[in-house]
Structure 1
Amino acid sequence: MRRFGLATALTAAALLALLPSTAQAAEYPDPRPITGQEIIHDPTVLRLKNGQYVAYSTGGVIGARLSKNLRHWTDAGNAFAEPPAWWYEYNDTGDPWAPDISYRHGRYWLYYSVSSWGTNHSAIGVATSRTGLPGTWTDRGKVFASERGEDWNAIDPAIIRADGKLWMSFGSYWTGIRMIELNPKTGKAIPGATVHHLATRPDAPYAVEGPSIVRHGRYFYLFASYDACCAGVNSTYKIRVGRSTSVTGPYVDSTGKPLLEGGGDLLLAGHGRYVGPGGESVFRHKGRDILAYHYYDAEDSGTPKLGLNTLNWTKNGWPSAG
């Protein structure tokens, strides 16, 4: 359910009541300073062959930002000039959410979701491009869908290659995070493939969504957004992580608690002006893993903005945001 809306400004007294204490704020790093177009939601970032970084996001017809150095970002329009016709089956406005960009087989692949707020009548689609730039994408249609009555929600896709296979994690509420194998030639779900279960919470409405999986050493790490997004300074989003030696799980946190039983180490939470970090993805920059996410700026009426932090890895193989 990663769809954004800006909250109205709160009074100064009400806002201060929502912010963590100084001691709590010190536990989490601030995002890197950036300039230019900061507004974004559910960012996915990748370095293109032309040397630029592109960030696609929820908003517009998959909104695009470009940067040469990860510091200054410019508005680059949208991935598509207009919504493909089939999107309207899943919402009245053809509004896409939470994209994921990757590169393989000489092409860029852009996965995205279309749905309506509060329903799992949802679908994940895919488009391809030779350059990865906005305006160059060709839509390839539906990858996987969910329907009312099923206990998963086909939104928030994230792609990973592992063990010679192509996998897509996804999910939002409706019992949490799932995974399915894709056909590497078409980029679409293999008919009849097992829908693996990776993470959930013991309490309805199972508020975990927006997965991103990366490999580091011998482990796969599952990052996910917990609690509520999309409410400006009232958002309670935070990012948790678990790991597994198998891409399909089981994933556990550093105490050994399974993510299927509500486990997950807290990686990043709101602090100071940086409220509700989530909608995360991970990309590489100069040999380092970088965490990209949005936060709601408490000093700018809860506007969603781009956060970037380096992921540092402990000797025990657990990530921390730096």
Structure 2
Amino acid sequence: MKRRRLTTLLAAAVLALLPTTTAQAEPTYPDPQPLTGQQIIHDPTIIRLRSGGYVAYSTGGVLGARLSKDLRHWDDAGNAFAEPPSWWYEYNDSGDPWAPDISYRAGRYWLYYAVSSWGTNHSAIGVATSRSGLPGTWTDHGKVLTSETTDSWNAIDPALVQADGRLWMSFGSYWTGIRMVELNPRTGKAAQGAPVHHLATRPDAPYAVEGPYIVKHGRYYYLFASYDQCCAGVNSTYKIRVGRSTTVTGPYMDSEGKPLLEGGGDLLLAGHGRYVGTGGQSVFRARDGQDWLAYHYYDAEGEGTPKLGLNRLSWTSTGWPKAF
């Protein structure tokens, strides 16, 4: 009897030393850095200009423009174009362009953008060039790639990346998700006969992943994408996920090895507090070499107005991005 009681007491003591099970803590996300000036923006793309300062282009207007000297104060700078090129009206009645992407190569700035209508994949990606990158200086060069209702992908949300001396464009929204095509570096348009690669999708309709952006860090290419619902103000559920690959065309995996073609993707940034529906992202490098994540959020304390979010990006010891 004494032995049984001693055993019971010892077992109780051991259990008392074990950690108790508690509810898993909710993940925390960093707030965007404080900004001043014109903060209203949607689907931002930002680049450091060779002439100094930064320019951001976005959905809205005829690709709305913002200028900043320090990434903190932003001034309204009008639009990339004075008026829509005539061919845009083939894709919507208002000549309204979406989701631009700016880059610099071969002595020129290149501005890619999409024209489409809500709920259809009758869409096109176009391109313009400029020597300065400033609003009002762009020359349009027409269509880069198109999609029709008979296609299983959607030609919107372009983003460029260079890999091993070749030029690539990721793109896509719903309609089976994220795709990629090689571009002719001279024209900046889809290379003749180039296959369309598949990078990411969701296992369930409507395959809500879009807005890809790919960057190289170390030996990996990182695919950032926006998951779930955009453009619903404070009811938006946009969030940013990421996967990586040793080759630009994939396959992309998350940190647990789940393919992005099977719905994988590490959660990098999600809505929290007043910052709802974080997405429409891009990545750029500041003059000091710091990587930044740019995105829009819907301000729950500002009637759901879309605003510019900026967070620094760091890279963990295992090579994964972290916003702070």
Task: Give the TM-score normalised by the residue count of structure 1.
Answer: 0.92
In 1: Cα distance, 2:82 partner to 2:309 partner: 27
Query: Are 1:154 and 2:155 matched, yes or no?
Result: yes
**Structure 2 residue aligned with 1:225:** 226
In the TM superposition, residue 26 of structure 1 has moved relative to its aligned partner by 6.2
5+ residue gaps, structure 1, are 1-22
In the TM superposition, 1:153-302 aligns within 5 A as: 153-285=154-286, 286-302=288-304
For 1:1-322, what aligned pairs fall within 5 Å after superposition? 27-285=28-286, 286-322=288-324
**1:32 deviation in Å?**
0.5
Deviates more, 1:25-34 or 1:311-320: 25-34
Q: Rg: which structure is higher? A: 2
Offset at residue 122 of structure 1 (A): 0.1
Mapped partners of 2:215, 2:70: distance in 1: 23
Q: Distance in 1 between matches of 2:226 and 2:36?
A: 25
Separation of aligned partners in 2, 1:240 and 1:305: 20
Whole-angstrom distance in 2 between the partners of 1:91 and 1:280:
24
Shift of 1:188: 0.1
Q: Give 1:284 shift.
A: 0.2
Q: CA–CA distance in 1 between the matches of 2:170 and 2:28?
A: 29
Sequence identity percentage: 81
Contact 1:61 1:83 in 2 (8 A): yes
User: Residue deviations 1:76-118, cap 9 Å, x none?
Assistant: 0000000000000000100000000000000000000000000
Quote the Cα distance in structure 2 between the aligned partners of 1:26 and 1:71.
Answer: 27
Partner of 1:87, secondary structure, is: helix
| Residue identity matched to 2:289 | G
What is the alpha-carbon distance in structure 2 between the residues aligned to residue 95 and residue 166 of structure 1? 27
What's the CA shift for 1:317? 0.1
Instruction: For residue 88 of structure 2, give the secondary structure of its aligned residue in structure 1.
Output: helix
- TM-score normalised by structure 2 residue count: 0.92
Structure 2: how far apart are the matches of 1:315 and 1:213? 20
Supply the distance in 2 between the matched residues of 1:44 and 1:147 (Cα, whole angstroms): 26
**Conserved 8 A contact 1:78-1:134:** yes
TM superposition shift of 1:149: 1.3
Query: What is the identity, as a one-letter code, of the residue corresponding to 1:29?
Result: P
Aligned counterpart, 2:21: none
Give the Cα–Cα distance (whole angstroms) in 2 for the partners of residues 225 and 291 of structure 1: 13
Does the Cα contact within 8 Å between 1:228 and 1:237 map onto a contact in 2? Answer: yes
Compared CA separation, residues 190 and 178, structure 1 to 2 (3 A): same
Which residue is equivalent to 1:6?
none
Q: Report the CA distance between 1:25 and its aligned residue.
A: 7.3
Distance 2:90 2:196 in 1: 23
CA shift for structure 1 position 192: 1.3
1:298 partner letter: A
**Runs of 4 or more above 4 Å deviation:** 23-26
Cα-Cα RMSD: 0.9
Once residues 161 and 191 of structure 1 are traced to their aligned partners in structure 2, the CA distance between those partners, rounded to angstroms, is 18
Q: 1:117-158 deviations in whole A, cap 9, x for unaligned?
A: 000000000000000000000000000000001100000000
Q: Greater relative contact order (Cα 8 A, min sep 6): structure 1 or 2?
A: 1
Q: What's the secondary structure of 1:93's corresponding residue?
A: coil
Aligned-pair CA distance for 1:185? 0.4
Offset of residue 24 of structure 1:
7.2
Which string of whole-angstrom CA distances, capped at 9 and with x for unpartnered residues, describes residues 285-308 of structure 1?
111110000000000000000000
Q: CA deviation at 1:70?
A: 0.2
